[in-house]
Structure 1
Amino acid sequence: MPYYLFRRFVGMLVVILMVLTIAFVIVRLAPGDPAALMLGPEATVEDAAELRVRLGLDRPILIQYLSFAAAAFQGDLGTSIFFNQPVTSILAARAEPTIFLSLFSLTFALLIATPIGIYAAYRRGSFADQSAISIAMLAASVPSFWTGLMFQRYLATELGWFPAAGYGEPGADFLERMRHLILPSIVLGIVNSALILRFTRASMLDILGEDYIRTARSKGMGERRVVLRHALKNAAIPIITVIGLTFALLVSGAVVTERVFNIPGMGNLVVSAVLRRDYPVIQGTLIVVATLYVVINLITDLLYLLVDKRVKY
């Protein structure tokens, strides 16, 4: 186990270093002077030269890369051109809505996909099974922005069940902010439930055909116990894997939903940074998201030990 963790941490460092390199190269590959691109067409030559010195772009490329990587590993992701604040502070301020939106969306997806996937596998070939597959394909095919707009119109505007957009007024309490995340979480939960449903069904189908399941039934064990205690427990590893991947995708891929519902999260921040050419924010977000990916993958692998004691590292 310690050796496995050591290898995983080394692999995480390698991945993060590769992401750092890509983020560093992206800015340098942009046509023209990076400093002039960041400042926009109205900037003067003197402004571009000042920013080039402030960002260290006047130094040799190798020194720039080493300084950038060393600062990133120390938690310094640079300073935003637009906000004139450290990128880490900006990302920390925008992390709350994105993290809670991802958690709520994953919860809704699990509430939808897990029971339907289990029941569809149990009733393989039935009308309920075919309906579940069709609904999953439909949920995966419909764009999230269209679902969000429809929900905004009918559930928020016409029925008034949820706030239509935003993250609460300035100074709103925690519960009020979370209330604004319910509708976008439902939208993302529906879209991302399709993959979890299909994996749950496929994994349960594999286990329900095993000999020990037939043996348990032949001994008179109740169907609920057979399905939930024996089959689901042994089918949990693929399900946990897809849940971990879904959560990582939600954290990094809620851009469209955050724009539709005007949620001040990390996705909305990245879109604004691209439009403003705020490259330090883009670089910092890329590094943070990549780090979240590798951490979530590690946590997912460690969760295997909780559901299956046979797993050895």
Structure 2
Amino acid sequence: MTTYIAKRFLGMIVVMFIVLTTVFVIVRLAPGDPAALMLGPDATLADIAALRKQMGLDQPIAAQYVSFLGQMATGDLGRSIFFNEPVRQVIVERAEPTTLLTLFSIIIAVVIALPVGVLSAYKRGTLFDQGALSTAMLSASVPSFWLGLMFQQYLATHLGWFPVSGFGAPDATFLERLRYLALPSIVLGLVNSALIIRFSRAAMLDVLNDDYVRTARAKGMSEWRVLVKHALKNAMIPIVTVVGLTFALLISGAIVTERVFNLPGVGSLVVGAVLRRDYPVIQGVLVVMAGIYVLINLLIDMLYLAIDPRVKY
């Protein structure tokens, strides 16, 4: 087990090194001078030179790369030009809406997808199975921004069940925040449940015809116990994998939904940083998102050990 965990940590370090190198290269290869783009067309040469020195862009590329890796290793993501604050602080201030939206969305997706996927596999070929697959395909094909606009129009504007947009007043309570997050969470949960449904169904189909399932039925166990205790437990590895990857994608992919519902999250921060050419913020968010993605993959690998002890061998 120790060797298994050590290999996963080593793989995480290698992946993060590649990600940091890629982010560094992309920012340096972007057309134009980053300092000139951030300051705008009215900036003087002296202003541009001062900003280049502040950002370390006047140094050789090798020195910039070493300095960049050193900063990232210490958790220093740089300083935002627009906000005039450390990038880490700017991201933390915007993290709450994105984090809550992602958590609620994945919970809704799993609550919908797991029972539907299991029952669809159990009732393979029936009308329920065909309907579940068709609905999953439809959910996967519908853009989240379109579904969000439709929900806004009918559920929020016409029926008044949910707030149309925003995140509440600065002093709003947690329950008030939940009211504003309910509709976007439902939108993302519905859209992302499609993939989990298909994986859950496929994983269950792989194990329902195995010998231990037939033996459990021959012993007179109830179908519910056979499905949950035997079949579902042995099908959990691919299901956990797709749930973890969906969660990671939700964190980095909720930008459009946040814009539709006017949530002051990381997605809105990235869009604003792109429009303002705030390269330190863009660079910092990319690194943080990549780190979260890699960390979630590591946690999934650790869960494999708890689900199936055979993994460590």
Shorter-chain TM-score range? over 0.9
- The residue type equivalent to 1:69 in the other structure is L
- The residue type equivalent to 1:108 in the other structure is I
Moved more, 231-240 or 18-27: 18-27
Q: Which residue of 1 aligns with 2:4?
A: 4
Q: Which residue of 2 aligns with 1:167?
A: 167
Q: Which residue of 2 aligns with 1:142?
A: 142
Contact 2:5 2:302 in 1 (8 A): no
Q: Which residue of 1 aligns with 2:109?
A: 109
Deviation at 1:152, TM superposition (A): 0.6
Q: Which residue of 2 aligns with 1:297?
A: 297
Deviation at 1:273, TM superposition (A): 0.7
Deviation at 1:38, TM superposition (A): 1.6
Q: Which residue of 1 aligns with 2:88?
A: 88
Deviation at 1:176, TM superposition (A): 1.3
Establish whether residue 281 from structure 1 lines up as the match of residue 281 from structure 2.
yes
**CA 1:304/1:15 → structure 2, altered by over 3 Å: closer, same or farther?**
same
Deviation at 1:100, TM superposition (A): 1.0
Q: Which residue of 2 aligns with 1:260?
A: 260
Q: Which residue of 2 aligns with 1:69?
A: 69
TM-score with structure 1 length normalisation? 0.98
How many residues are treated as equivalent by the alignment? 313
Secondary structure at the aligned position of 2:282 is classed as helix
Identity of aligned residues (%): 66
Alignment of 1:123-272 (within 5 A): 123-272=123-272
- The residue type equivalent to 1:123 in the other structure is K
Deviation at 1:5, TM superposition (A): 2.1
TM-score with structure 2 length normalisation? 0.98
Deviation at 1:65, TM superposition (A): 0.9
Secondary structure at the aligned position of 2:15 is classed as helix
Gaps of 5+ in 1: none
Contact 2:203 2:238 in 1 (8 A): yes
Gaps of 5+ in 2: none
Secondary structure at the aligned position of 1:24 is classed as helix
Moved more, 127-136 or 10-19: 10-19
Contact 2:34 2:277 in 1 (8 A): no
- Rounded to whole Å, the distance in 2 between the matches of 1:143 and 1:66 is 41
- Rounded to whole Å, the distance in 1 between the matches of 2:274 and 2:230 is 50
Deviation at 1:146, TM superposition (A): 0.4
- Rounded to whole Å, the distance in 2 between the matches of 1:225 and 1:31 is 61
- Rounded to whole Å, the distance in 2 between the matches of 1:162 and 1:32 is 44
Contact 2:27 2:279 in 1 (8 A): yes
- What root-mean-square deviation, in Å, do the aligned CA atoms of Structure 1 and Structure 2 show? 1.1
- Rounded to whole Å, the distance in 2 between the matches of 1:309 and 1:203 is 18
Q: Which residue of 2 aligns with 1:118?
A: 118
* TM-superposition CA deviations, 1:224-283 (whole Å, max 9, x none): 111111100011111000000000000010010000001111111111111111100000
- The residue type equivalent to 1:191 in the other structure is V
- Rounded to whole Å, the distance in 1 between the matches of 2:143 and 2:163 is 21
Contact 2:144 2:191 in 1 (8 A): yes
- Rounded to whole Å, the distance in 2 between the matches of 1:89 and 1:225 is 49
Deviation at 1:15, TM superposition (A): 1.3
Alignment of 1:2-81 (within 5 A): 2-81=2-81
Structure 1's consecutive aligned runs of 4 or more residues displaced over 4 angstroms after TM superposition are none
- The residue type equivalent to 2:171 in the other structure is G
Deviation at 1:305, TM superposition (A): 2.0
- Rounded to whole Å, the distance in 1 between the matches of 2:19 and 2:227 is 43
- The residue type equivalent to 1:234 in the other structure is N
Deviation at 1:6, TM superposition (A): 2.1
- The residue type equivalent to 1:133 in the other structure is L
- The residue type equivalent to 2:275 in the other structure is L
- Rounded to whole Å, the distance in 1 between the matches of 2:27 and 2:233 is 47
Secondary structure at the aligned position of 2:312 is classed as coil
Moved more, 170-179 or 45-54: 170-179
Moved more, 189-198 or 206-215: 206-215
Moved more, 277-286 or 163-172: 163-172
- The residue type equivalent to 2:298 in the other structure is L
- Rounded to whole Å, the distance in 2 between the matches of 1:30 and 1:218 is 65
Moved more, 41-50 or 276-285: 41-50
